[in-house]
Structure 1
């Protein structure tokens, strides 16, 4: 039994097995938290398996998680399916509840081998499924859609924040059933190319403000996060900078945020949930990597030299074995509109109001 968070350390479920809920999110339902995400247990780097379905866990205290199994099963015998773990890359499932339809709606990013990125949408009457396929091959607004987050307003209106691949961030209104987009959207954070383009968008609301925390685009290699704030769902957003305090490696504490949620029983406690995709990299290697990454960002013009140096430095490192990826859960701290994330080797919910 756990009684605290230990960021970056191996996190086991109540059966003593590694938790596999990567790139996902946490949803609170009737007194229980559900944490779901990519099941990476078979993604060892020596096979073609990217994600073996979507797994979900349940907890009352956020420390100890019971495995509820695969809520979306893979379809290994259907190579044409967006759920086939060897034909496509299934990433970042996000689930929201539609109180008007009584359904849970799950969106998943699907990267095809030809580089095209689409969305798959499924629905269920229960958070744990079974989920039924609604849409495959969806190109929202006719765009190639990358990492994303879903959010629901108090009045039931839903929004979809996604990376228009290697271009900009889009905020699009969802249809009333949450399974598509209406056509109304806004654009944010335009950039010429990776690694500057923002991905891994995580949205949350606090005291009437809308926050987006994003990552640069460097595959599984971590980079500096960027926070932005706005007064409305569609912005405009003001960039606040890197929220990670004292991060000498400039790699968001060697992690990438997948979601941010508010702890229900606490007055003002928000938790940033991040994946540490490359736990075997040592701190010194992260430091070197961070310096090379900053070298690119400090340039007056875009250059591939720093990225090539990073690739050379990390040559031979197996970054496809995500079956051993860990988690970094940390509390958010606020000073006015600014949001900060401090490192804690160990921390407890009970220490917050």
Structure 2
């Protein structure tokens, strides 16, 4: 009996120590740019991500990266993590798995899957994922958006289709006279003033009118009325497009507009405050960081007004060595928004870091200041 009692004491102590260790390992603050581990102690692997809040739980979807430079290809698929506090994340596994190599599928192993975002459709009960897709061995020439759906937030998601949005449909803020223009790229000197003018007046929109518009870096946004919107970088990454989705979120309604024509924006992230819409983007410098941009509008379809670089202080000219991917509204805190960004490591993709910063509003514009460490008390100031 003494021996058995001794064993029970040992087990009880071990369990207590394990619990204490577990509690001490919990993340209690955000530390931008540092290794961010999940509840199993493994660096979170959900890059270019977005957040879905559903049923009292946050779900983080992102690109599953692998080792080395080739790790930016989709070798696994889209990861999913869940959390109740935005700090401590449980790995839920692969939400959307790539298809077998050699299958000929649009999402076969070795394709490029970027910036997955998931929204929930109240009417259909479906979880809807859209993402930027590049076909295997075609570089970034496909410039497509793709759709997958599931009955459960964590998946598995079933691939449905890939496409270029809005073929044979003009944007609502497009002048009639521009539709009849016949000038082509071959007749223009790239990046000249005339070229920029023609881009703004639909040079690439007309070129891609029949096939549908290019769609690369993207985000999704569901407005207060339940309507959903797909915002993506188009026209050789020169212009952002915003397109209304159908009621079931599975296609495009045909209503769309251009944002900042010829402005060379990508990495869109959007939020709404006091009836106004705010958009944060980046410039286009590949995997290298650059200065962020911000815009405001009274209507998602525009017009949008530039507010300049939202980042301030040391490192602002490179957005603190990161690039925007999503903006998270913090549940239960009024006007609390978190700027989500990635610090890319192209030489070893799996080592990419996350930069999450609180958004301040100053004089009607979003402001980002570097924080080595911060927690939700920041929003109580």
Scaled by the length of structure 1, the TM-score of the pair is: 0.83
Distance in structure 2 (CA, Å) of the matches to 1:13 and 1:49:
23
Match of 1:36 in 2: 61
More helix by share: 2
Q: Is the 8 A contact 2:46 2:80 kept in 1?
A: yes
Question: Which residue of the other structure, out of 90, 108, 113, is the alignment partner of 1:90?
Answer: 113
CA RMSD, Structure 1 to Structure 2 (Å): 1.6
Deviations 1:191-223 (CA, angstroms, capped at 9, x unpaired) = 2xxxx5100111111110101100111111000
Question: Which residue of the other structure, out of 150, 157, 175, is the alignment partner of 1:131?
Answer: 157
1:84-123 superposed matches below 5 A: 84-86=108-110, 88-112=111-135, 113-114=138-139, 115-123=141-149
Look up the SS of the partner of 1:146 in the other structure.
coil
Look up the SS of the partner of 1:145 in the other structure.
coil
Match of 1:281 in 2: none
Deviation at 1:167, TM superposition (A): 2.5
Match of 1:168 in 2: 239
Alignment of 1:147 onto 2:174: no
Question: Which residue of the other structure, out of 64, 68, 81, is the alignment partner of 1:57?
Answer: 81
Match of 1:16 in 2: 41
Match of 2:5 in 1: none
Deviations 1:119-170 (CA, angstroms, capped at 9, x unpaired) = 2101111111122222224444411111111111222111111111322111
Unaligned 5+ residue runs, structure 2? 1-25, 168-211
Q: Is the 8 A contact 1:43 1:50 kept in 2?
A: no
Question: Which residue of the other structure, out of 272, 282, 299, is the alignment partner of 1:215?
Answer: 282
Structure 1's 55 and 249: CA in aligned 2 closer, same or farther, altered over 3 A?
same
Distance in structure 1 (CA, Å) of the matches to 2:72 and 2:265:
27
Deviations 1:40-59 (CA, angstroms, capped at 9, x unpaired) = 1x242257844520111111
Q: Which segment is superposed worse, 113-122 or 229-238?
A: 113-122
Deviation at 1:351, TM superposition (A): 3.6
Q: Which segment is superposed worse, 239-248 or 255-264?
A: 239-248
Q: Is the 8 A contact 1:43 1:49 kept in 2?
A: no
Question: Which residue of the other structure, out of 259, 263, 274, is the alignment partner of 2:326?
Answer: 259
Deviations 1:5-43 (CA, angstroms, capped at 9, x unpaired) = 000001111101110111111111122111110011x24
Match of 2:339 in 1: 272
Number of aligned positions between the proteins: 307
Deviation at 1:173, TM superposition (A): 1.1
Alignment of 1:68 onto 2:92: yes
Match of 2:14 in 1: none
Distance in structure 1 (CA, Å) of the matches to 2:315 and 2:32:
17
Alignment of 1:348 onto 2:378: no
Structure 1's 78 and 205: CA in aligned 2 closer, same or farther, altered over 3 A?
farther
Distance in structure 1 (CA, Å) of the matches to 2:73 and 2:93:
18
Match of 2:171 in 1: none
Unaligned 5+ residue runs, structure 1? 279-318
Structure 1's 277 and 212: CA in aligned 2 closer, same or farther, altered over 3 A?
same
Match of 2:353 in 1: 326
Match of 1:239 in 2: 306
Deviations 1:67-121 (CA, angstroms, capped at 9, x unpaired) = 00001112232452222231x2111101111111111110111123151211210
Q: Is the 8 A contact 2:38 2:89 kept in 1?
A: yes
Look up the SS of the partner of 2:69 in the other structure.
coil
Structure 1's 46 and 138: CA in aligned 2 closer, same or farther, altered over 3 A?
closer
Look up the SS of the partner of 1:323 in the other structure.
helix
Scaled by the length of structure 2, the TM-score of the pair is: 0.77
